[in-house]
Structure 1
């Protein structure tokens, strides 16, 4: 049984486990999902999905107490994507992110899941500040970050993408 992080009326947000290999493969299989992430082609097999769960997420749960979390539909118990935080050592910040199978886009799941993650972080995590990086052309993700209450911070180039960084303080600055 995976640790449940939080719930919403429609979703369970929990840690990933090795029973989620097929789901992780499935929600990454459609090339539209990774179009703006820089992760295109990273998960091309079940073995790749297992490696992400085992070598990244499970390790980060132990190391930081958090990593990307599974988003599960309460109605069907189906894993439809991920949400939550990543300790991004490349930028020395904590990033909020999400990824869902395309059939679940436009239904409010990214906003619902990540608002719940932000509330969880405010009361259960030692986390004061988060960023959300989004490719300039990805209007759907820009809308999600805005709905989360994040504010535009800056633009920069990275890995061939023009990136817009949004940020948010979870606690008042001292």
Structure 2
């Protein structure tokens, strides 16, 4: 297996998501805010979470060298959320995304992990433009994107989804 880089901040370890993270991914993908703001991925068991990682997350790492990262708190090794870059159909540019279990929201972990990955995108991954999408009612996500320096540039729809999403962008 190819070795992909792990990143650290003062409080966090940001490591590539692998199959051994299936139990956590199962919990996150079925959490209320994931289902409300991101949508049901039909991950109904730990085994299907393992398949989701294998089929939806790892191929992008193999293709681009980066993708979905599990965010872990250094103090107790708690897996709290995910953050990463996603090559999505219907979007020009790489989409920065993040999601955390509810008990870890509002503590700055989303900003800390996304800001680190934004820096790495521009300095190590060779990315020159980052985009982001969010639902119009997800004000927490909107505030975080703006804090990261992304600017609202309009709305968009992604394939197989009728919802009008807010579209943000930042360039190097």
User: Structure 1: any 5+ residue segments left out of the alignment?
Assistant: none
Question: Which stretch shows the higher mean deviation, 39-48 or 106-115?
Answer: 39-48
1:18 shift after superposition: 1.5
Q: For residues 72 and 4 of structure 1, do their structure 2 counterparts lie closer, same or farther at Cα, with a shift above 3 Å needed? A: farther
Contact residue 4 and residue 66 of structure 2 kept, 8 A? no
Q: Which residue of 2 aligns with 1:9?
A: 10
Cα RMSD (Å) of the superposition?
A: 1.8
- 1-structure distance, mates of 2:156, 2:67: 25
Question: Which stretch shows the higher mean deviation, 81-90 or 150-159?
Answer: 150-159
- 2-structure distance, mates of 1:28, 1:19: 15
1:157 shift after superposition: 4.7
1:49 shift after superposition: 0.9
Q: Secondary structure at the match of 1:89?
A: coil
Q: Which residue of 2 aligns with 1:32?
A: 33
Q: For residues 157 and 123 of structure 1, do their structure 2 counterparts lie closer, same or farther at Cα, with a shift above 3 Å needed? A: closer
- 2-structure distance, mates of 1:148, 1:34: 24
Contact residue 70 and residue 83 of structure 2 kept, 8 A? yes
User: Structure 2: any 5+ residue segments left out of the alignment?
Assistant: none
Q: Which residue of 1 aligns with 2:21?
A: 20
Structure number with higher strand proportion: 1
Which runs of at least 4 in structure 1 moved beyond 4 Å after TM superposition?
none
Q: Secondary structure at the match of 2:32?
A: coil
1:122 shift after superposition: 1.4
Q: Which residue of 1 aligns with 2:150?
A: 150
- Pairs aligned (count): 169
Q: Which residue of 1 aligns with 2:124?
A: 124
